[in-house]
Amino acid sequence: MSVELSREIWDEIKRYVNTVDRSEAAETLISVLIDNDVAADEIRDTFKGDAEVRRALTSYLKDHADEDEEDDDEDLHDDEDDNDKDY
């Protein structure tokens, strides 16, 4: 499914989603698109006029950047632990 088709579907069904639930729905949309290998830049360009989707994408990218930093920190500590071992 193309990201353009996803935008059209989102535009049609979001009016049926309660306003208070749209942020969570947009987060789910972002997760599905990312899980299906749609690039963040493509999502940003396609949904540039939709505030909920833009916020959800920003939040997703921030959350995953934080996770990547944590993973890097863990890898660094693992490497340090390996160096401390007596062989």
What mean pLDDT comes out for the span 53-70?
Answer: 87
67 inside domain: yes
Question: Does 38 have pLDDT greater than 70?
Answer: yes
Alpha carbon distance 51, 55 (integer Å): 6
Residue 28 covered by a domain: yes
pLDDT in tens, 17-34: 999 999 999 999 999 999
pLDDT of the residue at 24:
97
Helix, strand, coil share (%) of the chain residues, nearest 5: 85, 0, 15
Domain containing 11: what range? 3-82
The 8-class DSSP code of residue 41 comes to H
Q: How many structural domains does the chain have?
A: 1
**Is residue 87 assigned to a domain?**
no
> What residue type is assigned to position 41 of the chain?
D
